C-alpha cells in the first residue's frame, strides 16, 4: 500500500512538471510571435502613420485633405459648369522640370503626361472657337530648341481660334520679339515680362482685339520659389465664350 501511494505521488509530480514545461513553452512561443508582429508593424511606414493617426483620436482630416487635394495627371474636374454658348477649360503650368503641364477642354484632357504630348518650354492647344474642337496640340523647347517653328505655328492660327498656352521648365530663353508680338496679338499682356524659368498660363484668341483676363504669371524668385530654382505651379479655369462672327 505504501509503495503504491509513493508511486502515485511520483507520477503526479512528473505530470505537474510536464504541464509547467508546456505552459512555459506556450508563453515563450506567444512572446516570440507578439514581438515579431510589433517589429513588423513599426518597420512599415504606412502602418506607423496609421497608428499615429489612431493615437490622435481618428482625426485624419488634415491627412485626407492633403491626399485628395493632389491633382492626378489625368484629372480634369472643374468647379461648376459653363453655359451652352461657352467652352470650359482648365489649364495648369508645369512644376519645376519634373511635373508636366496639362490642359483640359470640356472636362477632357487634351494635353498632358498621360497623352504623351507635353514637353519643356511652351505648350500650346489650339481650338475651333465655334465648336471647341481641338485643332492642334504641340510644345516648343524655348531653351535648347528653335523658335522658328513656334513662330510659324503662331502665324498660321486662323481667326476665330482659341489658343491656350502653359509653361514648363524654361519658357523664355529663345522667345524673341517676333514671337512675343504674335502672342500679344492673341491677347496676352504679360508675355513681355516672361523671364527665365518663370511660370505662365494663358488663354487668348485670334481676332479678339482686346487683352484677355485669362492669364497668370509667377516670377522665378529664389527667395520665394517653392521648388528650389523654380516657382510653384499655377493653374486657372473658366468659361470661354464661343466665337461669333
- The answer on 122 and 227 residing in a single domain is yes
State which of 44, 66, 88 marks the end of a domain. Answer: 66
pLDDT digits (tens, 9 = 90+) for 166-183: 999 999 999 999 999 999
**Same domain membership, residue 152 and residue 93:** yes
Among the candidates 14, 34, 66, a domain finishes at 66
The answer on 92 and 16 residing in a single domain is no
Does residue 151 sit in helix, strand or coil?
A: helix
In which domain, by residue range, is 94 found? Answer: 72-241
Query: pLDDT tens digits for 45-91?
Result: 332 332 232 233 323 233 322 323 344 666 786 666 899 999 999 99
Handedness of CA 197, 151, 181, 91 (dihedral sign): negative
DSSP state of 125: E
Domain stops at, among 66, 83, 100: 66
131 and 150 share one domain:
yes
Contacts of 194 (CB under 8 A, 6+ apart): 167, 171, 172, 175, 180, 200, 217
Statement to judge: residues 178 and 83 lie in one domain: yes
Whether this prediction's pTM lies above 0.75 is answered by no
132 and 234: one domain? Answer: yes
The residue to which cell 517676333 is assigned: 178
Amino acid at each position: 500500500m505504501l509503495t503504491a501511494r509513493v508511486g502515485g505521488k511520483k507520477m503526479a509530480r512528473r505530470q505537474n512538471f510536464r504541464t509547467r514545461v508546456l505552459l512555459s513553452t506556450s508563453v515563450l512561443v506567444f512572446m516570440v510571435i507578439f514581438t515579431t508582429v510589433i517589429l513588423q508593424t513599426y518597420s512599415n511606414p504606412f502602418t506607423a502613420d496609421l497608428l499615429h493617426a489612431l493615437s490622435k483620436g481618428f482625426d485624419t482630416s488634415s491627412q485626407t485633405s492633403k491626399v485628395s487635394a493632389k491633382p492626378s495627371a489625368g484629372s480634369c474636374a472643374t468647379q461648376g459648369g459653363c453655359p451652352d454658348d461657352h467652352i470650359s477649360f482648365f489649364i495648369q503650368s508645369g512644376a519645376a522640370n519634373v511635373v508636366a503641364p496639362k490642359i483640359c477642354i470640356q472636362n477632357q484632357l487634351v494635353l498632358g503626361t498621360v497623352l504623351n504630348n507635353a514637353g519643356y518650354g511652351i505648350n500650346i492647344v489650339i481650338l475651333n472657337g465655334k465648336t471647341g474642337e481641338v485643332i492642334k496640340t504641340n510644345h516648343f523647347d524655348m531653351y535648347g530648341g528653335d523658335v522658328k517653328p513656334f513662330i510659324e505655328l503662331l502665324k498660321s492660327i486662323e481667326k476665330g481660334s482659341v489658343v491656350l498656352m502653359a509653361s514648363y521648365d524654361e519658357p523664355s530663353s529663345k522667345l524673341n520679339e517676333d514671337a512675343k508680338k504674335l502672342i500679344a496679338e492673341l491677347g496676352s499682356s504679360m508675355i513681355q515680362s516672361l523671364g527665365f524659368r518663370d511660370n505662365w498660363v494663358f488663354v487668348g484668341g485670334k481676332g479678339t482685339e482686346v487683352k484677355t483676363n485669362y492669364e497668370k504669371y509667377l516670377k522665378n524668385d529664389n527667395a520665394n520659389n517653392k521648388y528650389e530654382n523654380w516657382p510653384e505651379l499655377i493653374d486657372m479655369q473658366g468659361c470661354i465664350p464661343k466665337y461669333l462672327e
